[in-house]
Structure 1
Amino acid sequence: MIDTQQCLSRYPIESIDLDKWQGTVDLMSQLYNAACGTIVQLRQDEFNAVVASANEDNFLERDSSWPWEMRSFCRKIMETGKGLYVNDAINDDDWKTVEPVCDGPVRSYLGLPLLWPDGTLFGTICVIDTKSTDYQPLQIELLEQLRDLINADLKMAFAYDKIKTLALTDELTGVCNRRGLQILGDQLVKDAKRFDLNFGFVYLDIDNMKKLNDTHGHNAGDDCIIALAEALKYACRENDIIARIGGDEFVVLLTCADDKVELVCDRIETEYNRIRGDNELLADNPISYGYVYRSGLHPISLDQMIEEADKLMYKKKHGRKVGEFEEPFIE
């Protein structure tokens, strides 16, 4: 999910072409014969110039920032949600004492608000000059058209992020689906090999699911699946990869010391049993799990890890009945 409080110039969004934004503000500077064209983002009570025109006489650089507390033209737009045109700031009683004017070069400002798709304010698109101006309605309309193009980019970024999330995420539980596991897991295995990290792979499923579905219906089965997903989210770290790869089958891929995988499994089981204890319909549905761990110097494919951990999980499930269980291995 896109973090709207993250600085877009320092942490670009994959689907937004900042080179295109740069071309837009360069064009603004030329069309308005102005010292500065810029797109500004408001985040965490600070304004930041995401892009600024590259002309030599521009006094504002990309990544220039100023605090919300300082009275500014951009702040006025954020407070009102409306566009602002000040054609002769040094002779305007409302603006001649603000810092960018009295202690700076600003003499004219034309700006419009930019919006995130949910309607919250992103920032501004501005034409700023070091001389007074007399922009005509057609020039203001032109900036409105450019604003609409930038707003469309922000809307497209959210739509792309949503599609990408849906493509990699299991709809019922919110964890990765099999495709998400393949993409993120392949990268983790590569990183483990590169940095010589040990990693563990856990395979889990829920016992007696068919009986639960047959007796209480699939809604109860979904509750059980969601309970395990919540336990996994609680017990695992943020950078661990959690995925649902089948009906009641989950996997976790994590980097850790060799002896920590079992501790993670214990945390998962404890949290799952706590959640399950609040729902009497799930009383007969414990989990079974198996795990393997590997050195980054001896990686295996995700499919191999799934196969090996799956076999160990079934041995553990069977071991509950016959009292036998083989320990996992490391290479």
Structure 2
Amino acid sequence: MFENQSCLSRAQQSIIDLDKWQQTVDLIAELFDSACGTIVQLRQNEFNVVVASKNEDNFLSRNDSWSWDLNSFCRNIVETKQGMNVQEAKLDSYWKLTAPVVEGKIRSYCGLPIFWPCGELFGTICIIDTKETKHSSALLKVLEQFCRLITADLKMLRDCQEIRDLALTDELTGLNNRRGLSFLGEQRIKDARRARQTVGLVYLDIDNLKQINDKQGHQVGDQCIITLANVLKENGRESDIIARIGGDEFIIMTSFNDESIHDVQLEALCSRILECYNLAASEYDVGEITSISYGYQTFDYERTTVLEDMIAQADRLMYRNKNSKR
């Protein structure tokens, strides 16, 4: 079964002008003299109407949906990745037996697949009618042009997302950078207050990274940074916010529902990270030089302040840990 994980979120809809899409399907319905012009998106085994024409005889509305399991015209386009034009569904040996025709109002259908820029299917652009139709080749070319315009919008959306990701992501490690931590962390604080959760913040620093860079080169130093980033990804929870906020400084931001065990969990997490990092670092001859210093602090939903103040508190505890080794 084909699965599409890419849903058009509210944030994405704010980039794409859905009013323009609405005008497009309204024009489709008018030009093709059809009951319905619509753009449909496949969202995790379900087809969802993104926009539908507003003419009086239209039987579809925005956010209407139907299951992948229904043998629909849109499903056929997704499976074949090709357009289709069924002019007389009641006379078609296959479609006359399907639910949209037998139980529904559909008597003709013309549609094209819409693709994300990466090649995955977004959904379909459709002309659906309650009467038999025969569209001219010129009109079918118009539909192809509308399809290209929708694809161009999706490319713009992809480009905006890539720019946003570049702005919020650390190039070396793929983790969030400080800007990404600020963007996600402030929202996490708001969510924790609303859910009455405890926020945990872990501040980590690689010991003696400058010494490694000076004696063994920045390539080895970068390997230490990448190693810690991978350890954090492997040991953190999927919901944790993990960021590299400086050359050798990292943050894990997490949240807890059970206030009684959060300190134990954070200490266990830090111990795991330390052990995994030291083991990995020993494989490229810096194990005796480098290690990890860390500090962590918890904030119940009533004590959460601004993110930078919370980071500063965890930072002070990290330096206390680092100074204790000297």
Q: TM-score range by the shorter chain?
A: 0.7 to 0.9
Aligned to 2:304: 299
**Pair 1:285–1:13, CA change in 2 (3 A):** farther
Whole-angstrom CA distance in 1 between matches of 2:152 and 2:289: 52
In the superposition, the TM-score normalised over structure 1's length comes to 0.86
**Pair 1:194–1:129, CA change in 2 (3 A):** closer
Whole-angstrom CA distance in 2 between matches of 1:305 and 1:278: 35
Letter matched to residue 172 of structure 2:
L
1:36 positional shift: 0.9
Aligned to 2:243: 243
Aligned to 1:181: 181
Whole-angstrom CA distance in 2 between matches of 1:197 and 1:69: 40
2:174 is equivalent to residue 168 of structure 1: no
Whole-angstrom CA distance in 2 between matches of 1:281 and 1:311: 26
Letter matched to residue 316 of structure 1:
N
Percent of pairs identical after alignment? 53
Query: Are the aligned partners of 1:111 and 1:126 in contact in 2 as well (CA < 8 Å)?
Result: yes
Among residues 278, 288, 302, which one is paired with 2:293 in the alignment?
288
1:117 positional shift: 0.5
Letter matched to residue 304 of structure 1:
D
What secondary structure, in the 3-state scheme, does the structure 1 residue paired with 2:122 have? strand
Q: Deviations over 1:127-161 (max 9, x none)?
A: 01111122112211211111111111111111111
What does 1:1-331 correspond to in 2, within 5 Å?
A: 4-8=4-8, 13-256=13-256, 257=259, 258-259=262-263, 260-321=265-326
Query: Are the aligned partners of 1:234 and 1:271 in contact in 2 as well (CA < 8 Å)?
Result: no
Whole-angstrom CA distance in 1 between matches of 2:12 and 2:312: 38
Question: How many residue pairs get matched?
Answer: 319
**Pair 1:312–1:69, CA change in 2 (3 A):** closer
My pick for the range that moved more, 132-141 or 221-230, is: 132-141
Letter matched to residue 113 of structure 1:
P
My pick for the range that moved more, 120-129 or 42-51, is: 42-51
Whole-angstrom CA distance in 1 between matches of 2:193 and 2:70: 50
Whole-angstrom CA distance in 2 between matches of 1:300 and 1:69: 49
In the superposition, the TM-score normalised over structure 2's length comes to 0.87
Whole-angstrom CA distance in 2 between matches of 1:307 and 1:68: 50
Query: Are the aligned partners of 2:4 and 2:120 in contact in 1 as well (CA < 8 Å)?
Result: no
Q: Deviations over 1:155-186 (max 9, x none)?
A: 11111111111111111111111111112222
What secondary structure, in the 3-state scheme, does the structure 1 residue paired with 2:60 have? coil
Query: Are the aligned partners of 1:199 and 1:254 in contact in 2 as well (CA < 8 Å)?
Result: yes
What secondary structure, in the 3-state scheme, does the structure 1 residue paired with 2:302 have? coil
Query: Are the aligned partners of 1:9 and 1:51 in contact in 2 as well (CA < 8 Å)?
Result: no
Whole-angstrom CA distance in 2 between matches of 1:91 and 1:194: 58
Query: Are the aligned partners of 2:180 and 2:243 in contact in 1 as well (CA < 8 Å)?
Result: yes
What secondary structure, in the 3-state scheme, does the structure 2 residue paired with 1:251 have? strand
Whole-angstrom CA distance in 2 between matches of 1:61 and 1:175: 41
Whole-angstrom CA distance in 2 between matches of 1:117 and 1:152: 9
Structure 2 residues not aligned, in runs of 5+:
none
Whole-angstrom CA distance in 2 between matches of 1:208 and 1:52: 61
